[in-house]
């Protein structure tokens, strides 16, 4: 299971560690953030202790109105052995009761200069990205006119060579050989492992650095995956789709994306075929489907022919 630590949060978001140094490696396993307003009022029945607790001006202004006994009680109940971190916004002064409670159980208390809303948004986006379900797929990921196209197929079928041809045509490489795919809130996001980022392996040539050869405009760090193209060696006994009416889907996590099977044989320009497939996908999203228009036109011709015979 993916996890983030308070130490990673501190470095990524440039947070100031105020207390609880021994707990900075506690795991954060959920992207949900809690603003403990009800808890400040004493209601802990459904306290989400495993979430990062975010304290802003509202919570701490209410906290200042409590008695000394209530302040100690609230902070001791807020700091549990399950609490991964407590973060204060706007560089607010940390209450003495929170410092003492955090030291007892080792809960890291951090502080940020950001406003509460901005901090909450930044924190949520980072945690959702890092804690999203992730899998690795053998293939190549290319950004074609803003469409993330995942190219799959057996080893040696020509995925990397096709990717090189697409890069030469002005498209952008995201990943070669291994594609890391995360299920984020806005769909599937693909990226390359850091070790092989911007690299492309061509049999007989070796490993090349696409960014060095073609410039920074030839690569992307990540891209949403919108369709997949599967390359396979031409099988004379197999009937391939010639109209495009039957849309095949590929499921990754909980998301279905269109899947096109392209047979490979000498003489076929795979880069052009995949480029056109991406353009055709964009047209379908705009409501223009050439296959359906042809099918409707063909049905009209057949219907008119039957009427003339009658």
The answer to whether residues 216 and 249 belong to one domain is yes
The answer to whether residues 231 and 181 belong to one domain is yes
Which sign, positive or negative, has the C-alpha torsion 62, 63, 65, 66?
positive
Is 121 within any annotated ligand binding site?
no
**Tokens of residue 40, six digits:** 């400040």
Judged by DSSP in three states, 86 sits in strand
Q: What region, left, alpha or beta, does residue 75 occupy, with left being phi > 0 and alpha being psi -120 to 50 degrees?
A: alpha
Strand (E) or helix (H) holding 208: strand 206-209
The answer to whether residues 139 and 111 belong to one domain is no
Domain of 206: which CATH number? 3.40.50.300
307 in any annotated domain: no
The answer to whether residues 9 and 143 belong to one domain is no
The answer to whether residues 150 and 191 belong to one domain is yes
The answer to whether residues 162 and 122 belong to one domain is no
Tens of pLDDT along the chain (310 residues) come to 567 999 999 999 999 999 999 999 999 999 899 999 999 999 999 999 999 999 999 999 999 999 999 999 999 999 999 999 999 999 999 999 999 999 999 999 999 999 999 999 999 989 988 888 889 999 999 999 999 999 999 988 989 999 999 999 999 999 999 999 998 877 899 999 999 999 999 988 899 999 999 999 999 999 999 999 999 988 877 777 776 667 788 988 888 999 998 988 888 899 999 999 999 888 888 888 777 777 778 777 777 666 566 5
Is 201 within any annotated ligand binding site?
yes
Which position among 177, 197, 282, 284 bears the catalytic label?
177
Is 155 within any annotated ligand binding site?
yes
310 in any annotated domain: no
Measured in degrees and rounded to the nearest 5, phi and psi for residue 4 equal -125, 150
Q: 162 near 274, Cβ under 8 Å?
A: yes
Domains in the chain: how many in total?
A: 2
Which position among 3, 104, 118, 138 bears the catalytic label?
138
The answer to whether residues 92 and 150 belong to one domain is no
Annotated catalytic residue 159: yes
Q: What is the pTM of this model?
A: 0.74
Which position among 238, 242, 251, 307 bears the catalytic label?
242
Is 56 within any annotated ligand binding site?
no
Q: How far is CA 189 from CA 80, 150, 180, 192, 231, in A?
A: 35, 11, 8, 10, 21
For residue 232, give the nearest of 280, 270, 289 by alpha carbon.
Answer: 270
Domain of 72: which CATH number? 3.40.1390.20
Tally of CB atoms within 10 A around 72: 17
DSSP annotation string for 133-191: -EEEEESEEEEETTEEEEEEESTTSSHHHHHHHHHHTT-EEEESSEEEEEEETTEEEEE
The answer to whether residues 121 and 152 belong to one domain is no
305 in any annotated domain: no
Annotated catalytic residue 50: no
Annotated catalytic residue 138: yes
Q: 172 near 217, Cβ under 8 Å?
A: yes
The answer to whether residues 50 and 163 belong to one domain is no
The answer to whether residues 169 and 284 belong to one domain is yes
Residue 264 sits in which domain range?
A: 134-294
277 in any annotated domain: yes
Q: 167 near 150, Cβ under 8 Å?
A: no
The answer to whether residues 116 and 151 belong to one domain is no
Is 156 within any annotated ligand binding site?
yes
The answer to whether residues 69 and 110 belong to one domain is yes
């Amino acid at each position: 299971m993916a996890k983030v630590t308070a130490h990673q949060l501190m470095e990524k978001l440039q947070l100031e560690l105020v207390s609880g140094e021994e707990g900075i490696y506690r795991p954060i396993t959920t992207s949900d953030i809690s603003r403990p307003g009800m808890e400040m009022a004493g209601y802990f029945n459904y306290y989400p202790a495993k979430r990062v607790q975010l304290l802003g001006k509202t919570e701490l202004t209410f906290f200042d109105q409590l008695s000394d006994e209530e302040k100690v009680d609230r902070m001791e109940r807020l700091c549990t052995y399950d609490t991964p971190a407590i973060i204060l916004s706007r560089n607010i002064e940390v209450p003495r009761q929170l410092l003492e409670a955090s030291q007892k159980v080792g809960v890291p208390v951090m502080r940020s200069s950001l406003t509460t809303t901005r901090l909450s948004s930044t924190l949520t986006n980072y945690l959702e990205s890092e804690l999203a379900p992730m899998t690795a797929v053998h293939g190549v990921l290319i950004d074609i006119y803003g469409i993330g196209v995942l190219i799959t197929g057996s080893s040696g079928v020509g995925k990397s060579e096709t990717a090189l041809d697409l890069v030469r045509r002005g498209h952008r490489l995201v990943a070669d050989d291994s594609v890391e795919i995360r299920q984020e809130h806005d769909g599937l996001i693909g990226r390359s492992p850091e070790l092989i980022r911007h690299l492309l392996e061509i049999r007989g040539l070796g490993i090349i650095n696409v960014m060095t050869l073609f410039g920074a405009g030839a690569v992307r760090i990540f891209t949403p995956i919108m369709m997949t193209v599967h390359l396979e060696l031409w099988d004379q006994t197999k009937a391939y789709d010639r109209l495009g009416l039957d849309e095949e889907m590929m499921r990754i996590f909980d998301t279905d994306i269109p899947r096109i099977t392209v047979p490979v044989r000498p003489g076929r320009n795979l880069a052009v075929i995949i480029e056109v497939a991406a353009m055709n996908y964009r047209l379908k999203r705009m409501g223009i489907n050439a296959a359906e228009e042809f099918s409707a036109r063909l049905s009209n011709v057949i219907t008119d022919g039957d009427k003339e015979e009658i």
